[in-house]
A and B are shown apart, each in its own frame.
Chain A
Amino acid sequence: MVNAYAPIDELGRALRAKEVSSVELAKFYLDRLEKFGARLGAVVTLTRERALREAEAADRDLAAGNTQNRPLLGIPYGVKDLLATKGIPTTWGAEPFRNQVFDYDAAVVEKLTNGGAVLVAKLAMVELAGGFGYNNADASFTGPGRTPWNTGFWSGGSSSGPAAAVAAGLVPFAIGSETSGSIITPAAFSGVTGLRPTYGAVSRFGAMALSWTMDKIGPMARSAADCNTIYGVLVGEDERDPTTARVFPSGRASWVSNLVLARAANKRFAKIGIVKGTWENAQPAVRAAFFTSVEVLRKLGHTVTEIDYPDLPHGPTTSLIIRAEGASAFEDILRDGRAKQLREVADRTGGYASSAILAIDYIRAMRVRAKIREALLKLFEQVDIVAAPARSTVAYPIGPNFDEVYKDVKSGPSVIGSMNLLGAPAVAMPNGFGDNDLPASIQLNSAPASEPMLMNVAIHYQQSTYHHTKTPPGFS
């Protein structure tokens, strides 16, 4: 009997002990995806044929003992449907690309395949990763993603399918992407753990481009330890993506294994800054969960202080850069009119509006971005980690537009946007529940190329808490 919510190391141990085969695991998760995927709007394509082929190969490797340094060998996973997969549709969540098929795998899929992981599904996403400014959860040709904690609410975007599928135990882990919030937000709304790596740490070859200067790919899983294991497989230079060159300074580790990080002797005591303005007007339960987490971090020996966030135009800068680059990335569907086939009303005109951004304004935004980067790097000279509620509210309801709900809530400084401008890594972890039995979450951000320290703190935090082990009712 397989536990759908088992962590990766437990699944790996069961595979190596021959308590279960990779083919059995793949069939188990394929059945769950088939049974629950549609209810959550989480699945675009089941990759059954490829999965069984890869699982059989994994079983052969397990039998032959070819397991060294392959922590994901035989373990099923899903990918956000913006990653190219050879011969299988890659839809970018958008009607105009519904029948798009590439003849190669994205770099991350290649790495996972080489590591023996088993692709079971292409998972749903907000159309074009939200680059045209959607204002409603129903923004994918597969319909809205639903959080399994309460299916009347959104699973978050744009990695809506990966988050919902992991949360409901339909896959042990998934790969998402973030331009500004697309891993952190769905991780928060779906109650899973998500890691947004440093810009350039993971190759984007074969991934849909929305914003060349901001797109990142990262894991979503049931724990920080699982995310770290997956990240260890994904991280590394790739000559097909020049942004991956020299991300980690010489002599600095890009990844450290869970075994090493989890040792009590290796526990890092970090200086954590909690951002003033991010909790004061958050939903009360979100605020309470955040301060409970802060207390846990204090008790673990970290130094926690309140910090003033640099007062800079983070939001407008983020928005202008993504919109301008997005309009260029999708100029073809603006010119031939296919943008009008997009699902969400604001998306149908948003790309056209972005086409009117003047070059001088885009360049100004990139100049302001340099100022923001400078200010945030200075902040990271004072603290190791910048913490805040991952989102100031729980998930949005499905139906009304985003700007029609939670009007009394203010999120304060745009930590997600500014940290994405910097290209900094972050982890979002569930930390309690709020209104309508929906999960709340904390985000920890650290300086670029500091993942081992960030994951050290995150793993030790989850060793002292239980939120990430909770499972939603109704998906057994």
Chain B
Amino acid sequence: MSRSSRRHFAKLVVVWSAATPVAAVLRDPTAATGVAALHTDVVKREFGQHLTEADLAALAKQLQERAAQIETLRRFKLQNSDEPDVTFSAGTRRW
């Protein structure tokens, strides 16, 4: 990711955080459209040279479906102590 696109991404995240907090998405399903649209914009900035308008429309639909999956996961209650299902090993590999 280039420096300029990093800056752009940071701006998008700020806008997204302010405009569509998770709680708002949960309250209003149409708000997910905004998240998907925002992610589509991120992808367009990053990979736009390879994507036509038709591709972007298809991609927006895929991101909309993904947003629903992500919301399902975000609704799942986790505690601070719930670790990811991966174990980091500090150089004590068997080999």
Q: Report B74-90 CB contacts with A as 1/0, cut-off 8 Å.
A: 10101000111110000
* In contact, B84 and A366 (Cβ under 8 angstroms): yes
In Å, the complex CA distance between A349 and B69 comes to 18
Asked if A345 is an interface residue, CB under 8 A from chain B, the answer is yes
Mark out the residues of chain B between 11 and 42 whose CB falls within 8 Å of any chain A CB in the assembled complex. 39-40, 42
Asked if A348 is an interface residue, CB under 8 A from chain B, the answer is yes
Interface residues of B (CB under 8 A from A): 39-40, 42-43, 46-47, 49-51, 55, 58-59, 62-63, 66, 69-70, 72-74, 76, 78, 82-86, 93-95
Q: How many A-B residue pairs have CB under 8 A?
A: 101
User: What are the residues of chain A within 8 A of B95 when measuring CB–CB?
Assistant: 239, 242, 245
Interface residues of A (CB under 8 A from B): 133, 213, 239, 242, 245-246, 312-313, 315-317, 319-320, 323, 334-335, 337, 339-340, 345-346, 348-350, 352-357, 361, 363-371, 373, 421
What 5 A-B pairs come out closest when comparing CB atoms?
A: A366-B84, A337-B50, A316-B69, A353-B62, A370-B85
* In contact, A368 and B76 (Cβ under 8 angstroms): yes
- Is the contact region of chain A dominated by helix, strand, or loop, or is it mixed? helix
Contacts known (A348-B55, A349-B58, A363-B84); A317 close to B93, Cβ less than 8 A: no
Q: Nearest chain-B residue to A237 (Cβ)?
A: B94
In Å, the complex CA distance between A91 and B82 comes to 40
In Å, the complex CA distance between A373 and B83 comes to 12
In Å, the complex CA distance between A324 and B93 comes to 26
* In contact, A361 and B62 (Cβ under 8 angstroms): no
CB-defined A-B contacts under 8 Å, sample of 8: A213-B86, A340-B50, A352-B50, A353-B59, A357-B66, A367-B82, A369-B84, A370-B82
* In contact, A349 and B51 (Cβ under 8 angstroms): yes
User: What are the residues of chain B within 8 A of A352 when measuring CB–CB?
Assistant: 43, 47, 50-51, 55, 59
* In contact, A361 and B93 (Cβ under 8 angstroms): no
* In contact, A316 and B47 (Cβ under 8 angstroms): no
Q: How far is the CB of A401 from chain B (nearest CB, A)?
A: 12
For the complex with contacts A246-B94, A334-B47, 20 further pairs of A-B residues with Cβ separation under 8 Å are A242-B93, A313-B76, A320-B70, A337-B47, A340-B50, A346-B62, A348-B55, A353-B39, A353-B62, A353-B63, A354-B66, A355-B43, A355-B47, A356-B63, A365-B73, A366-B86, A369-B84, A369-B85, A370-B83, A371-B78
Q: Which of B46, B51, B63, B70 has the most CB of A within 10 A?
A: B70
User: What are the residues of chain B within 8 A of A350 when measuring CB–CB?
Assistant: 62
User: What are the residues of chain B within 8 A of A246 when measuring CB–CB?
Assistant: 94
Q: How far is the CB of B72 from chain A (nearest CB, A)?
A: 5
In Å, the complex CA distance between A361 and B70 comes to 7
